[in-house]
Structure 1
Amino acid sequence: MVEPTTSAPASRSLLGSFNFSNNLVEVGALTALIGSSAAESLVLGNRGAAGVAWAATSSFGTISVVKACFCGANSGWLREILGVRTAASDSAVGLELPSASSWAAKMRKNRNLGEPTAIFVHTSAESSTTSKGAVQWSDVYALDHWASVMLRTIPDTLPGQPLQIFTYTNHPFAPLSTGLQISVILLSASKIAEVYFMRRHNALLLGLVSAVPWAFFFIGALAMQAVDFIQNRRGRTSLGTLDLIAGKLPMVARPGGPRKVVLGAFENPRNSLIWRCFWAIGALVCTASVAFTYIIMADEPRSVVFIWAGFQLLWLAVRILLYHFVDTTVPGGWRMRLGARPWRTLSANLRMRVMDLALSLARFQSEIHPRSREIHARTVDQYIDDSFSNSDLALISELRRHATPEFISPAHPHHTLEFFHRRYPGCIRGHSAIQRNPTPMDLYDSCIVVFAIRDSNNPSAPRRCIAIPSARVLGGASIAESDTEQNVSTFTPRGAHSFGWNTMWWYWIPCQTGLWLQLQVEAGKTLGLHEMEVRSDAQVGALLSSGKLNISIKEVDELRAVVDLARRGREAFLELLS
């Protein structure tokens, strides 16, 4: 006898056909694969403290929260290297490459970021940073949102126009309306309802683990709102600590374009160490919460999983709504109104801050200069002995005020020269950050040499300081190590990468008519005692025309033109310092 077979039912319930298990794959798809640009922007503070409180209410989009926290907690160069840089992170914290970072210097030389939009100098409101040490500057490749808003309100200074410097007027900040922010922060406490429902279904641990990220950012949002409230009530009438120059900055092979100079802007608080620590801890909290959620949910019944998922969808919808409803806020309150001030009306301290900006721009140009190159897997800083200090510019002014002679007399065949460095950290300048007419390429080989001269080799002999417009080039004795004894004649155009095995700086300092002081020295060894050789026009011309130095200058007349441009550069410095 054949037993009758039981046929399968023709249809099944929708819930029964949906095979939703509780393993890591399905839960991970819900919590990780659902990205959220809104959560990313909120946790970075682009909607104020209220947005921070709501950023992690939903587990959906947690990966975006972790990524945003990682971006905010790390430097711009690391975000760029790891490929996690986003528009939201640029809007929140910008992208700066600090001058003191070796990793930032490597990225700066690679030029993968393109050209910077601004130079920032982090200074002191009371005094110029040069009195305390090296200027702390950054080249900026992405401005944060409020720096961009501030610059959009400022007109450009076009080339050829008198420079206008913008500072904040002496008025306190306008207090912000904090009612909406506080209300939205408190509204996020509805997350507690999820914990309550989870407890009612015997899943209290799941509810608590899911609510930990919200609790962390909720407490942080309350602290942020309290700080903003105190600062807005107190107000600020002094200038800030950030100076900047933005626009089409001059590069080696091109002049600068329209620019904007702002003194006393206020630092973005989201670049502070407190914010970075907050984001770093937040990333760890969110990551741990998701991991434990995976583990706990694997043992929960299907009904609990659906309740949990329903709450996450609810918080996700509310979070998106608030992202479009809550306006962006100004960190620290509304800024004071900007006012234009001509150069002549600035105090001595503010002038020095403008000069710090110019010298920082010059230092940036030297770091990306084609003359800087890799030799044997190390970077050679050909400008290590150059001066980027206001104190040295003041020295030139002092020498001019005391009517120091411009030319050195070759009465003695070998003058003992000491490049002045005991009080002033550098001696050579060949940059055009504040020149008005010559282009950077015009001033490519121009410099001002500052040194002390003794008329005898006696160390106790009196010295006299001299600042002389001169010429210098970076020349190589040969193309490669193997041909140091061969005759190779090459005229390398300006702006090309320096090459040659025995590259070193060649200086020509004008003496009396038809005579030059000639010095060749390696980078990093310029400061100190030197004996220079006296050379005639014919001797210098023969060396230049031979092509042995691998430089663009071929004759003495070109050398004189370089020196003439150096004199014009000195006069521009003196005019600014007068």
Structure 2
Amino acid sequence: MKPVPAFRPRRDSLNDLGRTDKEHIQRLVLGLAKYETHFHPRGDYSYGQDLLSFESMELFLAVPTTDKFPVESLRGSNTKATLDIKAVLGDVLLVSASWLLGSSETRFDLYDCCIVAVQVNSQPFVIPAARTLTSTIGASAAQDMEMGEDGMIFEKGSGNEGPDTTKWVYWIPCSDGTWLEAQSENSEVIGLRHVEFFTDDGLTDHLQLKQKDWRISRRRAEEVGEVVKKSYDYSRWLDQIWSRPA
């Protein structure tokens, strides 16, 4: 996607746009994101539940963003914890916003970034997070891989074998310093999902154990944290694009 600076608004001018012009910008961002799914290495089928609807965006962004999930709301249960995931803003939308606002970051810089909307006890939360598309058939079918000193490395942009061979894995930062992990069924993540909790060290061990079978590039908790920070930064950009004109 080549930038066209002459047609992009300055970030500091977005708040000066009227309602109609602002809506045109918002629809452009969503249109670019939808277009991106058709050429994405992950396949458009991976993005079927990403929120790309103009009508739904205002509802999503009407909830203030919080940087940590209030984990105490799920703790203390005798049963395995579940989380109600209501919506996801994914990398294709964040890349589109990045292009519009003149960032030099590319698809691969934001590859695992996302923002999730969840609900606990009727209370909605919007939280910047990280996710990666994993394999459900293991490393034996990998097409793009390199051997290094640390063993097998799977690069971003590797293909997959179709919608029946993948699933999303999400990591959401929690208020007590742990990580919440939720997994989709194939590409479907909306609805109630069983979750697990990991410390930083526990998540690193978990990623290194799963890296080969899942065919993912992430290997350490700090790498996931770096992705979440970018997700948070870009959530601010989306707030700017979708802010109401004065």
TM-score computed with the length of structure 2 as normaliser: 0.77
* 1:362 positional shift: 0.9
1:359 aligns with 2:30: yes
CA contact (8 A) 1:408 1:512 kept: yes
Aligned counterpart for 1:388 among listed residues 39, 52, 72: 52
Equivalences for 1:127-142 in 2 at 5 Å?
A: none
> Which residue of structure 1 lines up, in the alignment, with residue 139 of structure 2?
479
Aligned counterparts, 1:138-149, within 5 A: none
> How big is the shift at 1:353?
1.8
Partner of 1:406: 67
Partner-residue secondary structure (3-state), 2:139: coil
RMSD: 2.5
Aligned to 1:470: 129
Equivalent residues in 2 for 1:32-111 (5 A)?
A: none
Q: How does 1:412-561 map to 2 (within 5 A)?
A: 412=75, 414-420=80-86, 426-431=87-92, 432-435=95-98, 436=101, 437=103, 438-454=105-121, 463-477=122-136, 478-480=138-140, 490-498=152-160, 502-546=165-209, 547-548=211-212, 549-561=214-226
Alignment of 1:241-256 (within 5 A): 250=1, 256=2
Q: Is the 8 A contact 2:110 2:227 kept in 1?
A: yes
Post-superposition Cα deviations, 1:292-333, rounded to whole Å, max 9, x if no partner, equal xxxxxxxxxxxxxxxxxxxxxxxxxxxxxxxxxxxxxxxxxx
| Alignment CA distance shift 1:382-1:569 (3 Å) | same
1:496 & 1:387 partners in 2: Cα distance? 24
Alignment of 1:25-424 (within 5 A): 250=1, 256-261=2-7, 342-372=13-43, 381-400=45-64, 405-411=66-72, 412=75, 414-420=80-86
Which letter maps to 1:554? R
Aligned equivalent of 1:44: none
- What is the one-letter code of the residue matched to 2:71? P
The one-letter code sitting in structure 2 at the alignment partner of 1:407 is K
One-letter code of the match for 1:553?
A: R
Contact 1:358 1:433 in 2 (8 A): yes
CA radius of gyration, larger in = 1
C-alpha distance in structure 2 between counterparts of 1:441 and 1:347, whole Å: 33
Residue 563 of structure 1: CA displacement? 0.3
Q: Distance in 2 between matches of 1:399 and 1:434?
A: 19
Matched residues, number: 215
Q: 1:577 aligns with which of 238, 242, 246?
A: 242
Percent identity of paired positions between Structure 1 and Structure 2 = 25
Aligned-partner residue type, residue 52 of structure 2:
F
In the alignment, which residue of structure 2 is the partner of 1:169? Answer: none
Whole-Å separation in 1 of the counterparts to 2:206 and 2:160: 19
In structure 2, do the counterparts of structure 1 residues 352 and 567 end up closer, same or farther at CA, with 3 Å as the change threshold? same
The alpha-carbon deviation at position 390 of structure 1 amounts to 2.8
Q: Distance in 1 between matches of 2:5 and 2:36?
A: 16
Give 1:287's aligned residue: none
Change (3 A) 1:523 1:361: farther
**Offset at residue 490 of structure 1 (A):** 3.8
**Normalised by the size of structure 1, how large is the TM-score?**
0.35
Question: Aligned AA for 2:224?
Answer: L
Higher relative contact order (CA 8 A, sep 6+): 2
Structure 1 residues 575 and 428, CA gap change in structure 2 (3 angstroms): closer
Indicate if the aligned counterparts of 1:427 and 1:451 stay in contact, CA closer than 8 A. Answer: no
SS at match of 1:408: coil
Contact 2:119/2:125 (<8 A) preserved: yes
- The residue number in structure 1 matching 2:148 is none
C-alpha distance in 2, partners of 1:447/1:439?
A: 15
Structure-1 separation of matches of 2:135 and 2:61: 34
Other structure's SS at 1:491 match: strand
**Whole-angstrom distance in 1 between the partners of 2:69 and 2:81:** 9
Q: How far apart, CA to CA, are the structure 1 residues paired with 2:161 and 2:204?
A: 22
Q: 2: CA distance between counterparts of 1:419 and 1:470?
A: 12
* Larger strand proportion of the pair: 2
Seen in structure 2, the aligned counterparts of structure 1 residues 514 and 406 have a Cα distance that, compared at 3 Å, is closer
- Name structure 1 gaps, 5 residues minimum: 1-249, 251-255, 263-341, 373-379, 421-425, 455-462, 482-488
Contact 1:393/1:573 (<8 A) preserved: no
Partner SS for 1:406: coil
Residue identity in the other structure for 1:395: L
Distance 1:261 1:427, change over 3 A: same
- Gap runs ≥5 in structure 2: 142-150
The amino acid across from 2:42 in the alignment is R
| Whole-Å separation in 2 of the counterparts to 1:475 and 1:490 | 15
Q: Deviation of residue 352 (structure 1)?
A: 1.5
Task: Tell me the alpha carbon deviations over residues 383-421 of structure 1, each in whole angstroms, 9 at most, x when there is no partner.
Answer: 000011234432343212xxx64322333155432222x
Contact 1:381 1:523 (8 Å CA) reproduced:
no
